[in-house]
Amino acid sequence: MSQVHENETLEDRVVEILSRLLPKSLMRFKCIRKSWCTLINSPSFVAKQLSNSVDKKFSSSTCILLNRSQTHVFPDNSWKQEVFWSMINLSIDSDEHNLHYDVEDLNIPFPLEDHDYVLILGYCNGIVCVTAGKNILLCNPTTREFMRLPSSCLLLPSRPKGKFELETVFRALGFGYDCKAKEYKVVQIIENSEYSDDERTYYHRIPLPHTAEVYTTAANSWREIKIDISTKTYSCSCQVYLKGFCYWYATDGEEYILSFDLGDEIFHRIQLPSRRESGFKFYYIFLRNESLASFCSRYDRSDKSESCEIWVMHDYDGVKSSWTKLLIIGPLQDIGKPLTFWKSDELLMLASDGRATSYNYSTKNLKYLHIPPILNRVVDFQALNYVKSIVSFK
């Protein structure tokens, strides 16, 4: 039991005890006393609770947020997307190395049409930034709070109908916390083009410079910012937030990482390790502890197996970076892609049949996780190492 310090007041003890409780309990305690409600809603308490949750992040038990969906087809051949969100608490016996987990299903009332699905495109401090159909939302799965962002200032509401008219396409989204301004920001990258014929065929497409915009929670509006990247660049991975920067895997014929400094709002290009001569190709980026990790793989057609490498970036200062190969996995069969590290030596991966697996690269053990509901056809599966918080964005 912790010792009571000489200068510590009863109020200090109450704050310390409450800040170590689960968010679900704190939500209930807000209804007990008005003073507790005021305390729990205060910025200083929210920051303290978040700090305590982050300290527990790399303990023996880890919380993973899962987002997955499947297409449900009705007898009349009409269909809709079914979206499932869950929190899974994972732990391993230190002696027996047995994997334990429990799953808590979440019911978040996203504003969805029948054919819409939800994608997690950013995460920071217990808040996720998602696209739900045509909407961009900020959501705290722990408190079930969500907020729809206003319409973009750069995306046109409809496609062009004639030649040499501007077409705008959503390309990438990032979300994180600006420590300088002390506010949350969303950054959106727009791909622009026009067509030299009325049919708007691909061969007559004229790429134009990308544009970008930033949303701030304080202003609750978008504003355009400068971006200078190749017109051939596109992003195909979930954004990763780390220490004031947003990162995307991107390619313009050569794979690289695009970064965005949320403080000075400047984009940078980071080179990935050269693996072309070995047949490996980079596909994803994700977090390992407090470092950015990148994933590359090589597929062997002869035995339908895949070998994977995980690289970790060190000492990034906004301009330069260095990489270290962390581990080699495989060759393994029926493994689709990595999802997230949930311990220093445990990697959550997605099998080709849509099942989640946990791979321990120290023992080389691969274990399948039964996560209901069982999906017949997985459209998308996302997982992130999640910290439960009471952070609000309103």
Of 315, 311, 254, which is closest to residue 284 (Cα–Cα)?
A: 311
Report the pLDDT averaged over residues 268-286: 82
pTM as predicted: 0.85
Instruction: For residue 50, count other CB atoms closer than 10 A to its CB.
Output: 19
| Cβ burial, residue 94 (10 Å; 0-12/13-18/19+) | exposed
Q: Picking from 30-34, 84-88, 186-190, which range would have the lowest pLDDT averaged per residue?
A: 30-34
Angle CA(23)–CA(25)–CA(27) in degrees, nearest 5? 70
Question: What average pLDDT does range 77-83 have in this prediction?
Answer: 81
pLDDT (average), residues 259-271: 93
- Band of pLDDT at residue 58, cut at 50, 70 and 90: very low
Stretch among 54-68, 72-86, 155-169, 226-240 having the lowest mean pLDDT: 54-68
- Using the structure block, give the residue that is written with the tokens 């079914």: 82
Q: State yes or no: pLDDT of 379 exceeds 80.
A: no
Q: Which residues contact 109 (CB under 8 A, 6 or more apart)?
A: none
Sign of CA dihedral 274, 279, 281, 287: negative
SS3 142: coil
Tokens of 229: 């990247």
pLDDT at residue 62 greater than cutoff 60:
yes
| pLDDT value, residue 200 | 73
**273 prior amide bond cis, ω within 30:** no
Q: Which residues pair with 225 in a beta bridge?
A: 212
The conformation of residue 372, written as its DSSP 8-state character, comes to S
- How far is 158 from 134, CA to CA, in rounded Å? 12
- Say if residues 371 and 382 touch (Cβ distance below 8 Å): no
Q: What pLDDT is attached to residue 274?
A: 79
What pLDDT is recorded for position 95?
A: 61
R_g of the chain computed on alpha carbons: 23
Residues above pLDDT 70, as percent of the chain: 88
Residue whose structure tokens are 């970008």: 212
User: What average pLDDT does the chain have?
Assistant: 81
Write out the two tokens for 81.
């997307």
Residue 204 per-residue DSSP state: G
377: pLDDT confidence band, cut at 50, 70 and 90? low
Q: How many residues does the chain have?
A: 394
Type of residue at 206: I
Distances (CA, A) of 208 to 150, 166, 188, 277: 25, 9, 16, 32
Does residue 291 surpass a pLDDT of 70?
yes
pLDDT > 50? residue 1: no
Q: Are strands 322-333 and 335-343 parallel, antiparallel or unpaired?
A: unpaired
Q: How far apart are CA 39 and CA 55, in angstroms?
A: 21
> Which tokens go with 198?
């009325």
All residues at 6 or more sequence positions from 26 whose CB lies less than 8 Å from its CB, including other chains = 18, 40, 49, 390
Q: Which residue has the tokens 């190749």?
A: 230
At residue 260 the predicted structure's pLDDT band, cuts being 50, 70 and 90, is very high
Q: Could you report the per-residue pLDDT of 163-198, keeping only the tens digit for each?
A: 788 889 888 999 999 989 889 999 999 999 898 887
CA distance from start to end of the chain: 37
Residues 18, 10: contact at Cβ < 8 Å? Answer: no
